[in-house]
Amino acid sequence: MNYDAMKQKIAKGDGFIAALDQSGGSTPKALRGYGIEESEYSGDDEMFALIHKMRSRIISSPAFTGDKVIGAILFEKTMDGSVEGKPTPSALIDKGIVPFIKIDKGLEAEANGVQMMKPMPELDALLARAKGLGVFGTKERSVVNLANAEGIAAIVKQQFEVGRQVLAAGLMPILEPEVSIKSPERAEADAILRDEIMKNLDSMPGDDQVMLKLSLPANAGLYDPLVDHPRVLRVVALSGGYSRSEACAELAKNRGMIASFSRALLEELRAQMSDAEFDKALGEAIDEIYTASTQKV
């Protein structure tokens, strides 16, 4: 797949985007969920080797194909690694799955009810390396905790600024200003976020497009104007702490949104499973998430 073919698959394809991008801070929790305790490894190198082994097992599984998984978001170390002897992006492309890379370096401390992204001084070099490996797009996460209009405006401004840098490098940005589903002001925060994103989309020059990765809204259908906006290639949803069944039930209520789940995709996978058990559990998760992404209620 070249860039145009990947763009067409993401824009029009039936399916969802798998998030395989847990980074340093969230990796121990992901490994625990997978059945590997912190006492079973020592140091970052062993930890990242184990999480890469898990991701390689997912990507190489016969259940993980481009028929239902149209894209996958990778952690930088996963992008730079290999699966079955191939660079990870190439292994995905060979299965008909479009590769993305997580580019943010974590979150700042909360201010004005939000957590901005930390600086990314080496971003241009990372983007060039990703493009050279055949990666299609990027993903960058920040978090909204409260319905603070000033904070949300700042977070959206930062997301679009980084998005423009990604576009200039020839890649497709996924902007991810996550609203915490634990926020006591969640519905109000959702609405402020939608309006801020609309303002920034309306002021984009030229004919560039971005993607959006958003929390499932407290009020179903709230993001319909974003789904329909000509500057939005696709709107994807994060699971945000919901179980898979809860996330799928909420996703099915939202027209035009497809999943980009991490924890909800992996929640029943264990390192101790046989290959047959692993492939069966992964296949069932993929089927459930695919259905919620493609069949709306």
Over the stretch 149-175, which tens digit does the pLDDT of each residue have? 999 999 999 999 999 999 999 999 999
Residue 27's pLDDT is 86
Residue 25's pLDDT is 73
Name 207's Cβ contacts closer than 8 Å, sequence gap at least 6.
none
pLDDT over threshold 70, residue 295: yes
* Candidates 7, 196, 213, 250; catalytic one: 213
**26 vs 97 pLDDT, higher one:** 97
Q: How confident is the model at residue 250 (pLDDT cuts 50, 70, 90)?
A: very high
* Candidates 140, 176, 178, 196; catalytic one: 176
Whether 176 is catalytic: yes
Residue 23's pLDDT is 74
pLDDT over threshold 70, residue 24: no
Task: Calculate the average pLDDT of the chain.
Answer: 96
Whether 185 is catalytic: no
pLDDT over threshold 90, residue 22: no
